[in-house]
Amino acid sequence: MAAGIDIDEACRFPYETNNAAPFLRKDVGALTAKDVSGLFLPKLTSILVGCAPCQPFSTYNQKNKDPSWRLLHAFGDLIGDVQPDVVSMENVPRLLTFRGGTLFQKFVDKLNVADYKVAWGVLYGPDYGLAQTRSRLVLLASRLGNIKLPRPTHKNRHRTVRDEIGKLPALTHGGIDEMDPLHRSSRLSDINLRRISSAKPGGTWRDWQPNLVANCHKLETGKGYSSVYGRMEWTSPSPTITTQFYGFGNGRFGHPDQNRALSLREGALLQGFPRGYEFIPPGEKVHFTTVGRLIGNAVPVRLASAIARAVRNHIESVR
């Protein structure tokens, strides 16, 4: 049996619908061993996968005041109480240096004390078939024996933006595809429409005429933020898909040649979700913030698949 646990109720429909598995809405910090142990089937290898919120460790969070970083401690304690056969954890690479690296090291120490063999490393998404330049810290641990991280599958041929979204119907800004309600783009203001019309694929706002540059970027404190208000390139992987990828001003999320930001469906495809993946019930109103959060917070699917294959290969090798 597979089951999903999250504090976000919006996860229920996509998890249960696409995975045909139960969903438990609960704060990881409040989970007990009883909550989790009852989800495992007797005599089968138990696997516990945890992804503490990455925002506290992200470079986007400059002040590190988000208390949810403590959930990594909670996950470590849960592992000690449940003692699953195999553990998988992923997060942003900056976790390795957060608070001088002590937080991550304490997590690893807990696993070592509990007799787990641990392997960890930073995996580059495009090396595993993800058309997105996202790197993730991945840790695997096993009580069954030594475990290895997944080996790259696409190191010599990275997938591109064109590979993932090149065949989708064209949209105007604020437009919606009649056949797919998630293939919709946010509406641009007049100034942002003029800005994206001047944007070059792979370029920055520094390419614009001075009258288009935002006032904040004219200041010394804003001149270094060149990764916003940009277009993606067809022939390269996309930048990291965040929870606000549908906003042109939130990153290099402009469509390569259409004057709009990414649609929700395009963001999902760049995260590796299948074309028909359902995020909300049919007929329900689509909220950009809700669906964007579900897509951007997800572990990229192709990377998750690579991790799952590594776990399966490990289990088969020790049987």
Domains belonging to the chain, first-starting first, are 4-151+300-318 (3.40.50.150), 161-297 (3.90.120.10)
State the DSSP string of 49-106.
EE---SGGGSTT-SS---GGGGHHHHHHHHHHHH--SEEEEEE-GGGGTGGGGHHHHH
Q: Of 233, 232, 192, 231, nearest to 213 (Cα)? A: 192
> Residue 235 has which token pair?
């022939």
pLDDT tens for residues 262-273?
A: 999 999 999 999
Instruction: Tell me the HSE value of 4 on the side-chain side, using a 13 A CA sphere.
Output: 19
Residue 287 is predicted with a pLDDT of 97
Q: CB within 8 A of 199, min separation 6: which ones?
A: 205, 207, 208, 229, 230, 231, 254
Residues in the chain where the model's pLDDT stays below 50:
54, 56-62, 64, 68
State the DSSP string of 147-203.
--PPPPS-TTS---HHHHHTTSPP--TT-EETTEEEEE-PPPPHHHHHHHHHPPBT-
Q: Of 66, 65, 57, 53, nearest to 7 (Cα)? A: 53
Residue 57 is predicted with a pLDDT of 42
Residue 218 is predicted with a pLDDT of 66
Q: Which residue has the tokens 């074309």?
A: 275
Q: Is 54 an active-site residue? A: yes
- In whole angstroms, how far apart are CA 109 and each of 52, 113, 304? 17, 6, 24
How many residues are listed for the chain in this entry?
319
Catalytic residue among 11, 51, 54, 216: 54
Residue 168 is predicted with a pLDDT of 98
Q: CB within 8 A of 249, min separation 6: which ones?
A: 192, 228, 229
Coil, helix or strand at residue 300: coil
* CA gap 229, 212 in Å, rounded: 11
Q: How many CB atoms lie within 10 A of CB 283?
A: 6
Q: What is the CA radius of gyration of the chain?
A: 21
pTM for this entry: 0.90
Residue 62 is predicted with a pLDDT of 46
Residue 69 is predicted with a pLDDT of 57
* CA gap 50, 41 in Å, rounded: 18
